[in-house]
Every structure is written in C-alpha cells, then in structure tokens.
C-alpha cells in the first residue's frame, strides 16, 4: 500500500504507453475502477430520484412553486460555491500528493474538510429555519422531496468526511502514503459535489 | 508542482462559479416580483447549465480528460443520460398532466 511517495507525473504529463507516440500523454484512470463503478451507479440512482421529482412537480406546479419560494436561492448558491471550492482544494491535494508535496497535500485536505463543514452548517441551518417556519418533511410533497434529496446528499457528505479523515491519516505517515487511494477518495468527494450541483438546480432554480 | 496543473483547476473552478452565479440571474428572471411562475424555458436552461457543470466536474476535477477514452466516453454518455432523463421526465409530466 506504500505506492509512490516520490514525485510522480501529473496524469497526462509523461511520455507513453505502448502504442502511443512519443510525448503523447499517458492516459490513466484516476483512482480505482471500483470507485468509478460506484460513482456511475450513484449518479444513476440519484437521476432516478430526480426524474420522479420532476415528473411529479409538473402535476401540481403551483403548490411546488409556493413551497419552493420558501428556499433561498442565495443560500443554495453559497452552498454550491462552498462545495465547488472544496473540490478545487481536493484536486490540489491530489496534485500535491503526486508531486510528493505531502505537507501541502495535507493542508489542502484540511481546507477541503473545513469547506465541507461550512456546507454542513449552512445546510443544517437552512433545515432548522424551514422546520421552525412549519415546512417540515411532512408539510407537503415538495418538502418531502427537498428533505429526502438533501438528506441523502448530506449522508454522502458525512461519508466524505470519513474519506478526508482517511486521506489525512494516510498522508501523515510515509509508510501509509498511497497516491492511488488519495485519487480514489478524491473521486468520491467530487461525486458529492457533482450530486449537489444537480440537486441545487432542481430544487432551487427549476420552475 | 509547476504552475499549469494548479492554474487549470482554478480556471475550471472560476467557470463553475460563474455558471453558479448565473443561476441567480436566472432565478430573478424567472419570477414576477415575489411570485414564482412555472417556466419550461427556465427549467430547461437550469438543467442544461447543471449538465455543463457536471461534465466540467467530470473532466477537470475528476481528471477524466486524462483517462482512457472509454472512461471519457462513458462519463459523457452518463451526462447525456442524466440530461435525457431529467428533461424527458419533466416534459413527459407536462404532457400527461
């Protein structure tokens, strides 16, 4: 499990595999293929939820719009910007790991986690505000979808915190450092971001 | 690390952030003052922008652009499937209501 550690090229920065012309970038799957199977499966599963939601909202669009008006597009935008920034730092963490700059990689992983915590706080604050305003899970169909989709997304975020914890744990010790695992966990974190991007547009913006 | 690998993600993030902020303009355009109005145009634009963002996340943040072409095509297919499912279910809902 102690792969790399020393500076290794950015994917696409090196010369290449057989069958490729000299200087053509190496093409490698970032992380483990198993994680990609999970990512593609999860995105399809969420897409099924989204499709059911979109189909149902057209049946009673006025009621959905009245409930949607209780959400703050500004807060949703802020949440999105937080997760996008966290993904940026996660990518820098991966790049630093590949370059053997482990202190920088750890710093980037910590910032990723803190941005995730900021998202969590923002989301829980929004939930509390909505519930206090009488818009709980049982209020109507829109809020059932809202709490279900944001709830399972938050569950994925919590798993993401465990993932970041493992990355930091691994980066702390030369014996545990593994570029492959850092890349794999990073793919998971980006998936959390990807799913939120879709949830944000469907819950806060579509009409 | 040289500057290029660090700069490119930053540019991708800036593009994603600008698209996110564009949602606020779309949100304002969608409504009549404080009254929310149903709009197929706004819904379609919101979904298409989300798909652009999803593909950018795949290509740049998940670094699929460096991956074997199979994964590149697979993720593009996924974005297409997501778009088809979302737009299809929305317009199917409108057609049968």
| Six-digit token string for B67 | 């991956």
Taking only the tens of pLDDT, chain A with its 207 residues reads 444 544 445 554 443 443 444 555 677 888 889 999 999 999 999 999 999 999 999 988 888 999 998 999 899 999 999 999 999 999 999 999 999 999 999 999 999 999 999 999 999 999 999 999 999 998 899 999 999 999 999 999 999 999 999 999 999 988 888 888 999 999 999 999 999 999 999 999 998
Closest CA to A8 of A108, A95, A105: A95
| Six-digit token string for A124 | 């829980």
Question: Quick one: pLDDT at residue A2?
Answer: 44
Owning domain of residue B11: 3-96
Question: Quick one: pLDDT at residue A31?
Answer: 85
Contact B26, A205 (CB under 8 A): yes
Asked if A2 reaches chain B (Cβ–Cβ under 8 Å), the answer is no
Query: With a threshold of 0.95, does the pTM exceed it?
Result: no
Which residue of A12, A88, A142 to mutate against B (max B Cβ within 10 Å)? A88
Closest CA to B78 of A188, A45, A52, A80: A45
Report the interhelical angle of A61-68 vs A33-59 (nearest 10°): 110
Contact A201 B47 (CB under 8 A): yes
Contact B89 A92 (CB under 8 A): no
Which SS3 state, helix, strand or coil, does residue A198 take?
Answer: helix
Which SS3 state, helix, strand or coil, does residue B32 take?
Answer: strand
Query: Min CA distance, A141 vs chain B (Å)?
Result: 16
* Interface ipTM: 0.92
Contact B66 A61 (CB under 8 A): no
Count of domains in chain B?
Answer: 1
Residues 15-74 of B with CB under 8 A from A: 16-17, 20-21, 23-24, 26-27, 30-31, 34, 36-39, 42-43, 46-47, 49-50, 53-54, 57-58, 60-69, 71, 74
A-B CB pairs within 8 A amount to 162
Compute the distance between CA of residue A89 and CA of residue A137 in angstroms, rounded to an integer: 34
**Residue B32 forms beta bridges with which residues?**
B35
Asked if B93 reaches chain A (Cβ–Cβ under 8 Å), the answer is yes
The CA-to-CA distance between both ends of chain B, in Å, stands at 56
Residues 156-195 of A with CB under 8 A from B: 186-187, 190, 193-194
Question: Quick one: pLDDT at residue A11?
Answer: 58
Compute the distance between CA of residue A22 and CA of residue A31 in angstroms, rounded to an integer: 25
- Domains in chain A, start-ordered, CATH in brackets? 49-205 (1.20.120.80)
Question: Quick one: pLDDT at residue A13?
Answer: 47
Chain B nearest-CA residue for A55: B93
Question: Quick one: pLDDT at residue A45?
Answer: 94
Asked if A6 reaches chain B (Cβ–Cβ under 8 Å), the answer is no
Identify the band that residue B39 occupies on the pLDDT scale cut at 50, 70 and 90.
confident
Distance of CA B91 to the CA centre of its chain: 18
């Amino acid at each position: 499990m102690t792969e790399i550690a020393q500076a290794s090229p950015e994917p696409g920065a090196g010369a290449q595999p057989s069958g490729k012309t000299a200087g053509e970038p190496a093409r490698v799957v970032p992380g483990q293929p198993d994680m990609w199977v999970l990512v593609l499966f999860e995105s399809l599963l969420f897409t099924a939820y989204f499709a059911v939601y979109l189909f149902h909202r057209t049946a009673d669009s006025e009621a959905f719009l009245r409930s949607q008006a209780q959400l703050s597009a500004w807060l949703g935008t802020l949440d999105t910007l937080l997760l996008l920034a966290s993904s940026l730092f996660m990518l820098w963490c991966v790049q630093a790991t590949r370059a053997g700059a482990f202190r920088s990689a750890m710093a980037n992983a910590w910032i990723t986690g803190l941005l995730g915590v900021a998202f969590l706080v923002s989301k829980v604050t929004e939930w509390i505000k909505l519930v206090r305003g009488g818009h709980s899970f049982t209020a109507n169909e829109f809020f059932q979808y809202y709490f279900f989709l944001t709830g399972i997304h938050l569950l994925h975020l919590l798993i993401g915190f465990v993932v970041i914890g493992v990355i930091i744990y691994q980066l702390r010790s030369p014996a545990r450092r593994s570029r492959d695992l850092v890349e794999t966990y990073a793919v998971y974190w980006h998936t959390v971001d990807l799913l939120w991007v879709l949830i944000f547009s469907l819950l806060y913006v579509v009409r | 690390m040289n500057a290029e690998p660090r700069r490119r993600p930053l540019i991708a993030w800036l593009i994603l952030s600008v698209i996110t902020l564009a949602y606020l303009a779309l949100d304002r355009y969608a409504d009549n003052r404080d009254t929310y109005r149903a709009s197929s145009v706004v819904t379609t634009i919101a979904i298409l922008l989300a798909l652009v963002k999803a593909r950018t996340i795949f290509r740049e943040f998940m670094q699929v652009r460096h991956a074997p072409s199979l994964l590149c095509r697979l993720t593009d297919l996924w974005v297409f499937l997501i778009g088809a499912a979302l737009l299809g279910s929305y317009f199917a809902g409108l057609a049968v209501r």
